Amino acid sequence: MVRTRQPNDRLVARPRQRRRRRAGTQRRGRSLMVMKKARSAVALGVGAALMLAACASGAAEDKADDQPAGGSTGPVVAGEATPDAFKGSKFAFSGHGGTSQEAQDAILKDFAEIVGANYAPDGPPELAKIQAQVESGQVSWDLVVLSDVVANDPELCGTLVEKIDTSKIDTSNLPEVAPLVECGVPMNANGWSLAYNTEAFAGADDMTWERFFDTENYPGKRAIYSAIPQLQLEIGLLGDGVAVDDLYPLDVDRALAKYDSIRDDLLFYTTGSESQQMMESDQIVACLCWSGRVYTIIDNGGQWALSDEAPPQLRIDYWGIPKGGKNVDLAHAAINYFLGKEQQELWQTETAYPSMNRETDVELSEAADAVNVLDERFNANRVDIDFWVENQATLTDRWTTWVSQ
């Protein structure tokens, strides 16, 4: 079922719990253990299915269209995959790189080995590239990461990306904050957050959005993302004293004027890795950036923090299947595998991003907890996706012009 949201919905935060496994510690040693467990679950599921099949007789042949992805004969279960279901197929995934894609690759490669496919990672999944593939009829990517705007755009759903067949994916344990949409399955919830250098602001209270724009009392260079206005226009208004509940419709002139007030102290980054490099090399003292990039710095001993006095602006990234792809069933099966409990525990351990499975059981390390934007202390705000679906193109043009001035 597709869940709709009212504008300015606030997050319903789950209370923090102590977890058994520590996410963010011994980050590279856990993949094999997780995947062995996943394979065991697959083997048990397949064995049980074979036993049931041997005991059954006279059953009518199921229609192919009613079959869940991966050739399974029963209800799909997140995290499971059928051995050799796609033997010999090429499985091409396009992601955004960094630690996120490293974790995605670890999980999806294991999926490909189970189902007998040849895994081919690629990226980045730029919208123009997806459009070119679809329009030419030469779709080379089977699975991509979509922005929330693309996944929620009714003009692109069914034309640029396939509608999701929910009979082929177990979405029963998706978190409430990340709803399923017609053409996308939640992949990640990430917060556009205020990161700051704790040495540069030693002795000061936690940074607020207002203080991000106060370079007189809190001097130093700031960094923002050059590519898109989404999330950043909201932050400009928050920094100018606008209440969260009064953000929409956005006053774009006011937001840009607020950024103009510190233009001499602004640097622009074009990729997540560049923002991380700016923080690590002390080019900046504060940043509007992905929480996962800040986690990597903190985990490596860097003197950076996320402010819990500046509500992060939350966006959801989605799994998407390009329209007209050759392996639509394989893509559905891959998404279903990725949503498994063990796979999501690996995802959270490797990236410190939230799990998309409510059954995961991970104790956060100090570094991971420091960027856990879904924790109630951050009071994260979900952007009004309906506003952005309607206005993204126009505001992106205006943002690009402003950045280039």
Is residue 8 pLDDT above 90, yes or no?
no
Is residue 142 pLDDT above 60, yes or no?
yes
Domain of residue 250 covers: 190-315+372-404
Looking at the domain assignment, is residue 90 inside a domain?
yes
Alpha carbons 359 and 315: distance in angstroms, whole number: 22
What's the pLDDT score for residue 181?
Answer: 97
What CATH number is attached to the domain comprising 222?
3.40.190.10
Looking at the domain assignment, is residue 8 inside a domain?
no
**Which uninterrupted H or E stretch holds 393?**
helix 385-404
Report, as an integer, the average pLDDT of 7-13: 33
**Sheet strands (E) in 44-184:** 90-94, 118-122, 143-146
Calculate what percentage of the chain has a pLDDT beyond 70: 81
Cβ atoms of residues 325 and 162 within 8 Å:
yes
Alpha carbons 7 and 205: distance in angstroms, whole number: 31
Looking at the domain assignment, is residue 322 inside a domain?
yes
Q: Which of 145-159, 203-217, 294-308, 373-387 is predicted least confidently? A: 203-217
Among 25-29, 62-66, 136-140, which range has the highest average pLDDT? 136-140
Is residue 66 pLDDT above 60, yes or no?
no
Is residue 376 pLDDT above 70, yes or no?
yes
- The residue ranking higher by pLDDT, 291 or 264, is 264
Q: Which of 5-19, 147-161, 228-242 is predicted least confidently? A: 5-19
Report, as an integer, the average pLDDT of 359-365: 91
- 306 with 343, same domain? no
Alpha carbons 89 and 71: distance in angstroms, whole number: 14
Cβ atoms of residues 91 and 330 within 8 Å:
yes
Q: pLDDT band for position 153 (50/70/90)? A: very high
- 126 with 265, same domain? no
Nearest CA to 305 out of 236, 206, 191, 381 is that of: 206
What's the pLDDT score for residue 207?
Answer: 85
- 114 with 227, same domain? no
What's the pLDDT score for residue 206?
Answer: 74
Alpha carbons 186 and 8: distance in angstroms, whole number: 19
Report, as an integer, the average pLDDT of 291-319: 93
- 376 with 232, same domain? yes
| pTM of the model as a whole | 0.80
Report, as an integer, the average pLDDT of 121-128: 94
**Which uninterrupted H or E stretch holds 142?**
none
Looking at the domain assignment, is residue 4 inside a domain?
no
- 224 with 255, same domain? yes
- 326 with 356, same domain? yes
Kindly report the average pLDDT of the chain as a whole number: 84
Q: Output the CA torsion sign for 221, 222, 226, 229.
A: negative
What's the pLDDT score for residue 164?
Answer: 98
Report, as an integer, the average pLDDT of 330-350: 96
Nearest CA to 64 out of 146, 168, 152 is that of: 168
- The residue ranking higher by pLDDT, 64 or 256, is 256
Alpha carbons 312 and 308: distance in angstroms, whole number: 8
Note the pLDDT tens digit of each residue in 103-112.
999 999 999 9
SS3 of residue 346 by DSSP: helix
Cis? peptide before 68, omega within 30° of 0: no
- 299 with 168, same domain? no
- 248 with 293, same domain? yes
| Tally of CB atoms within 10 A around 389 | 18
- 172 with 101, same domain? yes
- The residue ranking higher by pLDDT, 344 or 53, is 344
| Tally of CB atoms within 10 A around 182 | 15
Helix residue ranges, H only, 119-215: 127-136, 148-152, 209-212
Is residue 116 pLDDT above 50, yes or no?
yes
Q: pLDDT band for position 120 (50/70/90)? A: very high
Q: pLDDT band for position 36 (50/70/90)? A: very low
Q: How many domains does the chain have?
A: 2
- 377 with 299, same domain? yes
**Sheet strands (E) in 176-295:** 185-197, 222-225, 266-269, 286-290
Among 22-36, 71-85, 147-161, 192-206, which range has the highest average pLDDT? 147-161
Quote the tokens at residue 376.
């109630």
Report, as an integer, the average pLDDT of 273-284: 95
